[in-house]
Amino acid sequence: MRLRKITRLGLAAARNSASWTAPFVRFIPTDRCNLDCAYCFQKSDDPREMTLNELESYLVKARSLGIGLASFLGGEPLTWGPIVDAVAACTRHGIFSDITTNGTLLDEAMLQRLGQAGLDLLNVSVDVLRAGPVTAKGALFRADRLRLLADARKLGIRVRINSVLFKDNSEEIRELVEITNRYRIPISVGFVVPHLDRDNPPDFCFTASDRDLLDPMIAFLEDRKARGYRIIDTRDYFRNVHRFLDGERFWECNYQRRFGWLNVTPSGHIRSCTKKMDELPVHFLDLTPTTIRALRRQFAEGIATCNVDCYSNCAYNGYYFFRNMPASIWRYLTGLSRRHLPKHA
C-alpha cells in the first residue's frame, strides 16, 4: 500500500510539470477550532462541516485529477468526527494523507487509530510552554509528549513540529528547537505576521524597529541549522525577514505555480489561500485542468496585492526552492551525507 501511494505521489508531481493539474489538495473539513490563538487566520464559527460521503466523492475526483497527496487542515481537523475514517479512505484510494493539528486532542490512542488507518504525515503546531494571551498551543511541548510523537514513527507516521515566532516566545522556541533535535523530529519556524484585513499589527507582531529582538533569534536558528538540526525552513527565510518588515517586495508566493495546492472548504468550494477565509464560486467536483489553469491566473492576481503583507514560511520556501532548485537539491543531498544527529534519550 505504501508503494502504491509513493508511486501515485511521484506521478502526480511529474505530471504536474507538463499539464494543468494539481498534485496536492488541502481538505478543510471544518473551520471551527477548539483554541482561539490571537494570530490565527484559519478559523470561524461556521457550523458547516464536510461529511464523510462528501470526502469520499472528493477523493474519487482527486484521483481523476491525478492528485497524490491529501492534507487535512482546519480549524482543528481532529475535532471533525470522521477524521480517522477519512484517513483510511485516503489509504484505500492510494493517496498520501497528512494532518495538521494543534495537538490538544492527540494522545496515544488517537495516534494508534491514525497509524492503523494509514496516516503518512503528522504536523503538530507547538508554540509555547504554557497558555498565554497570544496562544495556548503548547499541548505537546513537554519532552514526555514529544517522545509520544517520536514513537509515532513505529506506526509508519512521519512527524514534524510547526512553530511560529512572535515577540514573547523566543526563549520557548529556542528550547523547543533543542528538544526536537534530541528526538530527531523536524521543525518549521515561521514568523507571525498581521492579519491581512487589519490596518495595524497587534503588539505581539515584529516590526521594523524590533531588530534587537529578532537578530539574536535569527542567529540562533541559522547556527542550529548549520549544525545539522532538522530545521525545515531555508536560512534565507530567516535572513530576509528585515526586508519584509521594511516593506520591500522581493519575493513572490509560489501558490499559483506547479506546487500550488487546491484548498477545499467544508462546503466543497475552493478557497484561494489558507490565510484568507474566502470561498470561490468554484466547486472541487467541477474542476478540470482548464478550470485549474484559470484558478491559477486568479491566484496570481491576488498575490500581486497580498504578497507584500505576507511572509508565510511555507509559501516562501516554495518560492525559494523554485528559484534555486538545483542548488537546493544539492544542499539537501550533501546535507544528508554530513548529518549526524544524537538519538533521543
pLDDT tens track for 45-85? 789 999 999 999 999 999 998 888 999 999 999 999 999 99
**pLDDT at res. 17:** 63
How buried is residue 309: exposed, middle or buried, by Cβ count under 10 Å (0-12/13-18/19+)? Answer: middle
CATH code for the domain defined by 2-338 = 3.20.20.70
Dump pLDDT digits (tens) for 181-238: 998 999 999 998 776 556 667 788 888 999 999 999 999 999 999 999 999 998 889 9
Q: pTM of the entire structure? A: 0.87
Domain ranges for the chain, please list them. Answer: 2-338
CA distance 118 to 90: 8
Q: What value does the mean pLDDT of the chain take?
A: 84
Regarding beta strands 262-264 and 270-271, do their DSSP bridges make them parallel or antiparallel, or are they unpaired? antiparallel
* Cα→Cα distances 339→104, 161, 226, 229, Å: 32, 19, 10, 8
- With a cut of 60, say whether residue 112 has pLDDT above it: yes
Residue 312's pLDDT is 85
pLDDT tens sequence across 296-331: 888 877 777 777 778 888 878 766 665 655 555 445
- Helices 170-182 and 143-151 pack at an angle, to 10 degrees, of 40
- Does 332 have pLDDT greater than 60? no
Q: Report the C-alpha gap between 149 and 141 in whole angstroms.
A: 11
Query: What's 102's DSSP letter?
Result: -
